[in-house]
Amino acid sequence: MALDHQAKRDFKVVGTRVARPDGIDKVTGKAAYGADITAPGMLFGRILRSPHAHARIKSIDVSEAAKAPGVKAVVTSADFATPDDEYYADIRDNCLAREKVLYDGHAVAAVAATSKAAAKAAIRLIKVDYEILPHVTDVDEAMKPDAPVVQEGRALENVPAGMSQNVTSHFEFGHGDLDAGFAKADKIIERTFKTAATHQGYIEPQACMASLGADGRGEVWCCTQGQYMVRANCAEVLGIEASQLRVISSEIGGGFGGKTTTFIEPVALALSRKSGKPVKIVMTREEVLRATGPTVSTSMDIKIGMTNEGRITAARGELRYQGGAFPCGTVEFGAQAAFAAYDLEAVQTLGWNVMTNRPKEIAYRAPGAPTSIYAVESVVDELCQELGLDPLDVRLMNAARKGTLSAYGPTFSEIGLVATLEAAKAHPHYNAPLGPNQGRGLSCGFWFNFGGNTCVSLNINDDGTIGVVEGNPDIGGSRASISMMAAEELGVPYDKVRTVIADTTSLGFNDVTDGSRVTFAVGLATIKAARAAIQEMCKRVAKIWGIDEDAVLWEDGFAKPSGPNAGTHPPMSLAEIAAIAGNTGGPIAGHHEVNADGAGVSFGVHLVDTEVDPETGATKILRYTIFQDAGKAVHPDYVEGQMQGGAVQGIGWALNEEYIYGEDGRLQNAGFLDYRIPVASDLPSIETVILEIPNPGHPYGVRGVGETPIVPPLAAISNAVSRAAGVRMTELPMSPPRLLKAMSA
Amino acid sequence: MKMIPVETTINGDRTEFLCNSDESLLDVLRDRLGLTGAKEGCGTGDCGACSVTLNGRLVCSCLVLGVEVDGAEVETIEGMADGETLHPLQRIFIEEAALQCGICTPGILIAAKSLLEKNPDPTDTEVRYWLAGNLCRCTGYDKIIKAVQKAAAEMRAA
């Protein structure tokens, strides 16, 4: 899939700032999210959760709850099937605990009742007899050989003997001779870092409405990043046929990776099957924080050697990530991404995945990368400080570019890192004066991006308008960008196109909305589907004109005769062709199905000024500028929005957000008051600079943009705070007490 | 427990409903009256997604009891547009891409409208502090602040 030779550098629709198609519904309150629909005879479901971090379930007595007023069904894990695949068994056991509860908030049983109040009252009548077990929530503690074991027998073969059974997998990447590299260094810095777990913090709690009959036919309406994923998970956990389960994705109130799995949908289906009625479950915020999401928490050692001139001679990282009570693979991404921004002769990263008594980790924007890159970029910054070097010049000197053998294996093709660094250097922000207690920090960021399984149908309507059917929930405006790409390719105005998100029965399989894949992969499939429709339209016109198909050219929404033997027919518009489609062979549509590769990696650079208060340890963000390669920004407003939103999530991670567990293994801050995400008054304006280094893997050069922006803020802010406070910070978040302690040490 | 009859005015329409004494205004709006534009993001008054005005005052409807609105005037997002004409804030939020997922948008629009009624010419800092009770996880607030200021300027000129 090379960049098209006839590449449309002169875009008509792509690159403009059109109004999004779901705008009016969303500003008037009409848009229907997960919790916004009702069904006739609907029941309300409610889930009983473990108060213990780790306990064996000796028995569950639901008899009193089942008899309570209004209660129509009670379910436990016994109502689920037995999937063959361990992946689905883990999903099942996270939806309702089987033999043990593995973390504070782990679901144990559920009821469906005629009112919210009746359901809430009934779960208190469920009697669970627990045998409390020792627990562990810290990653380093969990790796010790004598640590309480969260789950036995889950370690992969590559984990050396003698380690705790909580260590489930190990990864190693790199190349070159480390010893020789470090021997060449004039300065070597080695540091240990720790980062707290954070939550995706979507404002819409998980919500679903489910209906399942005794015949195994059912429907689920839910807020999700992937309806096909929900279908697969539910079918496996319930033991029903995927074909009989229709999953409809509602409007989604934020996901950021956190809605790429299921928690409540299988439970609602089980309750519905048992009660014979539709069941709605809406999580509370406390449930969201205790039992969904969060990220890994980490402990990391980074060692980097540098010459006096600023050339990195060798780099090594060892990453320990805990992903909660089930095996997780996130450290692999962290280890691959850690040194991606650098062209290194000798590099090695080791990663360990660890289980603890915490909720099962799920993706959050560039999963694994923000933390490892935070640690690497902190050490690079400290080396620059120690050697008296300009941190941007050092990054430019060592930057990965086309032809660089990346630290994780592949050789880079066209990438935009150098261009973003140069843009940062040229920006007035970089040389603006700083006052007392102020510091400037910067960091590079990287994400792989993803393509994946994608299926699109594009229908030419008989009135000359266009319907696009795609299968990826739209979180941040993707229906607009998909419509724009269809309009661009067909040569019709944007407002002639309507894009809808299909349910699982109406379109072939699509991977979840993740990996910054939708504008890239769905866009690519939409362009190819448009080309298939164009080919068909040209064929129809060739038939009408009585000439060869090859002699009809498509240009700006018209079929035109082309070449010496085509004749002088007047061009036919898309609308004219569509109007008579019934006479030329029937309806016209284009389809494209692909497992897209060529996503094109993404780099960004963030520049931040902070001021620290020496009396309170509070940090204020004074100025923030983002430079990022978007390949081609289809809708620049929404590209900027991704950059700004990701940066602010990173600001929260750097300064405030953390999962705080007590000695008892219980989460102590399960609410938005105590788990504090950034609010408007915490922040300055976030300036954005979009660079466009085309991705050769997409017809218009598009790269995913959604994930990279959360990567640089952690290190950029830590570097700025460290310089402002005069002390190197090595732990996140840099909450006021933690910073104050470091400053007074 | 017997339900309590309540008479109120919602978006200018006289409305009667029955609710339990411990039921929040948010639950009444969403579950009894079908007004699902107000969202529940937390249920504890921390996120502002359920913002409405009660006798002109900005409140989190999750922190108000349904029975408290007896005799009161409630304004929700469903009453913000005038027929097919959007309020300037609504229209400019779309124009300026001041929403991504949109779940916080109804609450932010209600809060912003309430601000501009009190202070038609706020500074950026005043907008940011007024909206500090409305969490948005998608946008980083930048485009929201710009949209509110653009709407304020347009409303002042009108």
Calpha distance A305→A320 (Å, rounded): 21
pLDDT class of A166 with cuts at 50, 70, 90: very high
A645–B138 CB contact, under 8 Å: yes
Do the chains contact at B137 and A475, CB–CB below 8 Å?
no
Query: Does residue B33 belong to the interface with chain A, where contact is any CB pair within 8 Å?
Result: no
pLDDT above 90: percentage of residues in chain A: 97
CA distance A20 to A499: 11
In a mutational test of the A interface, the residue from B39, B135, B136, B142 whose CB has the highest number of chain A CBs within 10 Å is B142
Q: Examine the pLDDT at A3 and tell me if it is beyond 50.
A: no
E strand spans, chain B: 4-10, 13-19, 51-54, 57-60, 73-75
Judging by DSSP bridges, how do beta strands A438-447 and A347-354 pair with one another? unpaired
By Cβ distance, the residue of A27, A644, A677 closest to B142 is A644
- Chain A hits for B95, Cβ within 8 Å: 19
Mean pLDDT (whole number) for B117-142: 98
Do B15 and B61 lie in one domain? The reply is yes
The sign of the CA dihedral A471, A475, A479, A482 is: negative
Strands B13-19 and B4-10: antiparallel
Query: What integer pLDDT is reported at residue B1 of this predicted model?
Result: 72
Report d(CA A223, CA A225) in Å as an integer: 7
pLDDT of A11 strictly over 90: yes
Q: Which two tokens stand for residue A553?
A: 């050219």
Contact B107, B48 (CB under 8 A): yes
Q: In what order do the strands lie in the sheet with A466-470?
A: A497-501, A466-470, A452-460, A588-596
pLDDT one-digit tens code per residue, A557-594: 999 999 888 889 999 999 999 999 999 999 999 999 99
Question: Residue A1 has what pLDDT?
Answer: 36
CA distance A336 to A350: 9
CB contact under 8 A, A203 and B94: no
* Rounded Cα distance, A424 and A429, in Å: 8
**pLDDT > 70 in chain A, percent:** 99
Q: Do B97 and A201 touch (CB under 8 A)?
A: no
Mutate: best of A17, A25, A26, A365, partner B, most B CBs <10 A: A26
DSSP A518: I
* Rg of chain B over all Cα atoms, to the nearest angstrom: 16
B18 touches A at CB < 8 Å: no
* Boundary residue ending a domain (B48, B79, B110): B79
- CA-closest candidate to residue B51, choices B19, B22, B81, B77: B77
Do B97 and B72 share a domain, yes or no? no
Reported as a single tens digit per residue, the pLDDT across A207-250 is 999 999 999 999 999 999 999 999 999 999 999 999 999 999 99
Q: Which residues in chain A have their CB less than 8 angstroms from residue B140's CB?
A: 641, 644-648, 678, 683, 686
Tens digits of residue pLDDT in A309-362? 999 999 999 999 999 999 999 999 999 999 999 999 999 999 999 999 999 999
Closest B-chain CA to A39: B31
Look at residue A564 in the predicted model and tell me its pLDDT: 87
Contact predicate A34/A223, CB 8 Å: yes
Q: How many angstroms separate the CA of residue A246 from the nearest CA in chain B?
A: 23
| CATH tag, A23-31+451-596 | 3.30.365.10
Over range A372-383, report the average pLDDT: 98
CATH number of the domain that B37 lies in?
3.10.20.30
Place of tokens 């600023």: A310
Q: Are residues B148 and B118 in the same domain?
A: yes
> Which pLDDT score is estimated for B126?
98
Taking alpha carbons only, the member of A250, A207, A206, A205 closest to residue A227 is A250
Domain boundary among B32, B61, B79: B79
Q: Give me the residue from A33, A638, A649 closest to B97, CB to CB.
A: A638
Contact A682, A654 (CB under 8 A): no
DSSP sequence for A305-350: EE-TTS-EEEEEEEEEEE-SSS---HHHHHHHHTTTTB--SSEEEE
Of the two residues A120 and A476, the one the predictor is more confident about is: A120
Of B31, B101, B125, the CB nearest to A254: B101
Average pLDDT over residues A136-165: 96
B61 and B20 co-located in one domain: yes
Provide the 8-state DSSP code for B32. I
Binary contact (A27, B134; C-beta < 8 A): no
Interface contact B141-A256, CB threshold 8 A: no
Chain B closest-CA separation from residue A400 CA (Å): 29
- State which amino acid sits at residue A152: E
Last residue of a domain, one of B27, B44, B79: B79
Domain range enclosing B135 = 88-157
pLDDT at A6 over 80: no
pLDDT (0 to 100) of residue A454? 98
Domains of chain A: which residue ranges? 23-31+451-596
Q: Are B75 and B108 within one domain?
A: no
Polymer length in residues for chain B? 158
Interface-testing mutation among B19, B137, B146, with chain A (most A C-beta atoms within 10 A): B137
| Nearest-by-Cβ selection for A672 from B31, B47, B127 | B47
Q: Does B118 touch chain A (CB under 8 A)?
A: no
Record: contact B96-A637, CB cut-off 8 A: yes
Q: Out of B94, B104, B139, whose CB is closest to A23?
A: B94
Of residues A378, A347, A374, the one with CA closest to residue A446: A374
Residue numbers in A near B65 (CB within 8 A): none
> Is the CB of A20 less than 8 angstroms away from the CB of B97?
yes
Say yes or no: B147 contacts chain A, CB-CB below 8 A: no
- Amino acid sitting at position B135: L
A603-655: per-residue pLDDT in tens? 999 999 999 999 999 999 999 999 999 999 999 999 999 999 999 999 999 99
Q: Which of B44, B101, B141 to mutate to test the interface with A (most CBs of A within 10 A)?
A: B101
Checking if the pLDDT of A2 tops 60, the result is: no
Total number of domains constituting chain B? 2
- Beta sheet of A558-561, edge-to-edge order: A552-555, A558-561, A572-573
Q: If we measure between CA atoms, which residue out of A71, A162, A59, A77 comes closest to residue A119?
A: A71
Nearest chain B Cα to A117, which residue? Answer: B23
The residue type found at A677 is I
**Shortest CB distance from A19 goes to which of B95, B105, B143?**
B95
Total CB pairs under 8 A between chain A and B: 187
Q: Does B86 touch chain A (CB under 8 A)?
A: yes
Same domain assignment for residues B12 and B53? yes
CA atoms within 13 A on the CB side of B25: 29
Does B36 sit within 8 Å of A35, measured CB to CB? Answer: yes
Distance from CA of B29 to the nearest CA of A (A): 11
Q: Which residues pair with B7 in a beta bridge?
A: B16
ipTM over 0.85: yes
Q: Judge if B101 and B70 occupy the same domain.
A: no
Condensed to tens digits (0 to 9), the pLDDT of residues B29-40 reads: 999 999 999 999
Residue type, position B101, single letter: C
Q: What is the pLDDT of residue A607?
A: 98
Nearest to A310 by CA among A375, A381, A389, A396: A389
Place A5 in a pLDDT band, splitting at 50, 70 and 90: very low
> pLDDT grade, residue A480 (50/70/90)?
very high
> In whole angstroms, how far apart are CA A470 and each of A138, A343, A480, A510, A514?
42, 39, 12, 8, 15
Q: Do B103 and A203 touch (CB under 8 A)?
A: yes
> Do B94 and B139 share a domain, yes or no?
yes
Distance from CA of B157 to the nearest CA of A (A): 23
Mean pLDDT taken over chain A? 97
- Chain B residue nearest residue A29, CA to CA: B37
Same domain, B97 and B65: no
Closest residue in B to A288 (Cα–Cα)? B42
Q: How high is the mean pLDDT of chain B?
A: 98
- List pLDDT tens digits, range A68-121: 999 999 999 999 999 999 999 999 999 999 999 999 999 999 999 999 999 999
- Using pLDDT thresholds of 50, 70 and 90, give the confidence band for residue A170: very high
Same domain, B95 and B45: no
CB-CB under 8 Å, A685 with B41? no
